[in-house]
Amino acid sequence: MSASPVVKVLFVCMGNICRSPTAHGVFRRLVRDEGLAEVIEVDSAGTHAYHLGKAPDQRAIQTAARRGVALDDLRARRAEAEDFLVFDYVLAMDQDNYVSLAAICPPGMDQRLMLFMDFAPELRTREVPDPYYGGPSGFETVYDMVEAASKGLLAHIRKQHF
C-alpha cells in the first residue's frame, strides 16, 4: 500500500475534538510503546471546520489522561482531499464521516478509506458513537472502543507492511 517505508494513518471524525483525537493519542502511544514511532506516523482531522485550531474536548483529554495518554498537544484541523495522497489509511469514526470523506476522495484512492471499527470486529459495531452531547461515560466507552480498534489496526499494519 505505501511506497514509502513509513505507514501514515489519519483518524477522522466530525469536529476533530472527541473521537479522532482520542484515536490519534491512543494509537500514537501504542505505536511508541511498540517501538514503531519511526515507521508509523499518526494524525487526526475532522470533516467539518467547527473547531479549527482548538484543543480536544476537555472530557476527551481527561479520559485519556486517566489512562496515561496525552491529547493536549493536538489541535483540530479539517480533512482535505490531499490527505488521501499523503495517508495510507484514512479511518472514519462513523458512516456519516465515511460518506463525507468519500465525497472528497480523489479517484483511485478509495482503497485508503475505511471505517476504523472494522479493525475491532469482536465489538460487533462499525461506528464509534459521538460522545460530545452526552456525559463522561460516553468518553469512557469511546476510549475502550478506540483502544480495541487501535490494537487491531496495529496488528493489520504489522501484517501488511512489516
| 110-147 pLDDT per residue, tens | 999 999 999 999 999 999 999 999 988 999 999 999 99
| 10-33 pLDDT per residue, tens | 999 999 999 999 999 999 999 999
DSSP annotation string for 48-110: S-TTTTPPPPHHHHHHHHHTT---TT----B--TTHHHH-SEEEESSHHHHHHHHHHPPTT-G
Active site members = 13, 19, 130
pTM of the entire predicted model? 0.96
Mean pLDDT of the chain: 96
| 25-58 pLDDT per residue, tens | 999 999 999 999 999 999 999 999 999 999 999 9
- Whole-angstrom distance, CA of residue 50 vs CA of residue 125: 27
